[in-house]
Amino acid sequence: MPEDKNNTGAYLPRDPSSHPAALHPPYRSSRLRSPQAAPLSFPTTLSEDTGPVFTPDILGPLDGDLLHNFAASGQSAIGPRIIVHGRVQDQFGRPVKDALLEIWQANAGGRYRHAKEGYIAALDPNFGGCGRVMTDAEGRYSFRTVMPGAYPWPNGPNDWRPAHIHFSVFGAGFAQRLITQMYFEGDPLIWRCPIVGAIADKSAVERLIAPLDMENTAPMDALAYRFDITLRGRQQTLFENRMEGL
């Protein structure tokens, strides 16, 4: 049964082993920004079971096309053209429809378009690096962009980020709110990255690595990568018992 915005029920508790540690000293920025007390747990309430409501009419026609959404007329971004697609589902395998995905990334040279970014790689005048899409009734999404480049960052003496795309995901409930990063199959930098290394569970890292998906390439146009996202699931039976009394 698809996830429904009107269907408010408690979410499964978060499994910390699926996530990075708050403090991972090799990732330097986490040292002063990680809470030291254990977070307080309680079952989700309406404040977390509900969430912001978005409808596809907020999307512009090019929001899912990073090749063109910042480009001058008749131009397109430079770099290997790729399609990124997948399915957003909950922990029970139910599709999450109308999920809003916001994406951002560096350009093909590994440079972000941001005032605080100083990497020597060139900006691409036709690439902004942001976009957004919503899932359909089956939880599917798709966008196209360029393959982002790897880049060095000030952490250790010589740390490089693997090529990645940032995803911000809104499901139906605020409890499902998630920001993550998608990596690319075969990138040797993934297992050297201190940000990735904050996740202790190897299989949790592997689920962030999108495999090349030859079946969904656009021949003579773009390669495809598949990235499926799993959000927290609602405890359906509790919902039925609970909401009737409210």
Partner 1 sequence: MRERPETASQTAGPYVHIGCTPNFAGLTGVHPEDLGRHMITGPTTGERMSLTGHIFDGEGEALRDAMVEAWQPDAAGCFAGQTGADPDFNGFGRCPCDADTGEFRFETVKPGPVAWPQGGFQAPHISLWIVARGINLGLHTRVYFADEKAANAADPVLTQISGNRVQTLLARPETTGAYRFDIHLQGPDETVFFDV
Token pair, residue 69, equals 């959404």
192 is a site residue for partner 1 (CB under 8 A)? no
The Cα–Cα gap between 140 and 134 comes to 8
Residue 58 is a binding residue for partner 1 (CB under 8 A): yes
Report if residue 198 touches partner 1, rule: CB under 8 A: yes
Q: Shortest Cβ distance from residue 157 to partner 1 (Å)?
A: 19
CB of 112 to partner 1, least distance (A): 5
33 makes contact with partner 1 (CB under 8 A): yes
Task: Give the separation between CA 91 and CA 3, rounded to whole angstroms.
Answer: 11
Q: List helix spans (H) across 99-212.
A: 202-206
Per annotation, catalytic residue among 164, 226, 232, 234: 164
Please report, as residue ranges, which positions from 217 to 246 form the binding site for partner 1 (by CB under 8 A).
229-233, 242, 246
Rg (CA), the chain: 19
User: Which of 91/217 has CB closer to partner 1?
Assistant: 91
Q: What is the dihedral of CA 120, 126, 128, 129, to 10 degrees?
A: -80
Annotated catalytic residue 151: yes
| C-alpha separations of 172 from 46, 52, 63 in Å | 12, 7, 21
Site for partner 1 in 85-104 (CB under 8 A): 89, 91-93, 102-104
Residues 107-146 vs partner 1: string with x where CB under 8 A?
-----xxxxxx----------xxxxx--------------
Count other Cβ atoms within 10 Å, centred on residue 175: 22
Tell me which residues are annotated as active site.
Answer: 112, 151, 161, 164, 166
